[in-house]
């Protein structure tokens, strides 16, 4: 759950926080169930003979930008396409919370991957140099002029180390993990599942209202429309 909250926050980050903010609160579906977790996390499920749909509200603040996670499983016999175009968030007054184009994240992805690849290369080089140094000295003390004597690690003590650092410790790991989880279009074959984060912008006039507003989330899977209700709640 913590990973989900971090990913949602990374995708929604757009500008400095306001004094208050919205968050999405889901209602129990008429023909489904509502699961509630820690820190406002909710998941609303609906199942038909042809499709299983889950809408997840991460519980994170919704300011200039927000997220919901939508997942579908094709239980039928025909393939259907599912992506951002098959999801609609509409407020009670008819305002549609439009999705953020995935292309806006492409530049961030390219830059983050470049920085991460260079960090990974440097990390592997440093580890290789350390291993070579340990092999040359056999764990002996290495005198260095003007500083305290250093003892290099024995070869045996480094042989069990991984050849590279944990991917999660590399620069921009959280941002990239979030971008990789964006909802993008995909053909969902029978007995297959697909989903991701639907990121949307909040219009300025909606931000200024600072009041609870009814919210409908429509998820289209093939010929089916799945409607979830809730509230864009001000806090």
Per-residue confidence band for 6, with pLDDT thresholds at 50, 70 and 90: low
DSSP three-state, residue 163: coil
- Confidence (pLDDT) at 31: 87
Separation in Å, CA 25 to CA 40, 62, 204: 8, 11, 20
- Confidence (pLDDT) at 1: 55
Q: Assess whether pLDDT exceeds 60 at residue 36.
A: yes
DSSP three-state, residue 215: strand
State pTM to two decimals.
Answer: 0.69
User: Is 215 or 122 the better-scoring residue by pLDDT?
Assistant: 215
User: Is 117 or 24 the better-scoring residue by pLDDT?
Assistant: 24
What is the helix (H) or strand (E) element at residue 126, kind and residue range?
Answer: helix 106-137
Class of domain 2-102+180-234: mainly beta
Counting Cβ atoms within 10 Å, is residue 139 exposed (0-12), middle (13-18) or buried (19+)?
Answer: middle
Percent of the chain with pLDDT over 90: 54
- Confidence (pLDDT) at 20: 81
Domain range list for the chain: 2-102+180-234, 106-173
CA atoms within a 13 Å half-sphere pointing along the CA-CB vector of 167:
6
Q: What is the pLDDT of residues 47-94, one digit of tens each?
A: 999 999 999 999 999 999 999 999 999 999 999 999 999 999 999 999
Q: What is the pLDDT of residues 146-176, one digit of tens each?
A: 444 444 444 444 444 444 445 555 444 566 6
Per-residue confidence band for 9, with pLDDT thresholds at 50, 70 and 90: low
Q: Assess whether pLDDT exceeds 50 at residue 145.
A: no
Residue 72 — φ and ψ, nearest 5°?
-135, 150
């Amino acid at each position: 759950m913590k990973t989900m909250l971090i990913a949602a926050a990374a995708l929604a980050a757009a500008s400095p926080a306001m004094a208050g903010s919205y968050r999405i609160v889901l209602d129990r579906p008429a023909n489904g169930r509502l699961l509630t977790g820690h820190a406002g996390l909710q998941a609303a499920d609906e199942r038909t003979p042809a499709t299983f749909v889950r809408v997840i509200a991460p519980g994170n603040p919704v300011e200039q930008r927000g997220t919901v996670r939508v997942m579908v499983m094709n239980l039928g016999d025909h393939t259907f396409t599912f992506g951002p175009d098959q999801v609609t968030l509409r407020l009670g007054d008819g305002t549609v919370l439009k999705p953020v184009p995935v292309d806006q994240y492409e530049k961030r992805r390219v830059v983050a991957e470049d920085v991460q690849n260079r960090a990974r290369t440097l990390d592997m080089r440093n580890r290789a140099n350390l291993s070579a140094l340990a092999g040359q000295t056999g764990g002996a003390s290495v005198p260095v002029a003007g500083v305290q004597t250093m003892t290099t690690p024995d070869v045996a003590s480094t042989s069990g180390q991984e050849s590279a650092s944990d991917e999660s410790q590399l620069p921009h790991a959280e941002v990239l993990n979030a971008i990789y989880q964006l909802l993008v279009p995909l053909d969902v074959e029978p007995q297959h599942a697909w989903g991701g984060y639907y990121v949307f912008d909040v219009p300025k006039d909606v931000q200024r209202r600072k009041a609870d507003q009814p919210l409908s989330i429509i998820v289209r899977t093939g010929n089916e429309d799945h409607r979830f209700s809730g509230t864009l709640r001000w806090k």
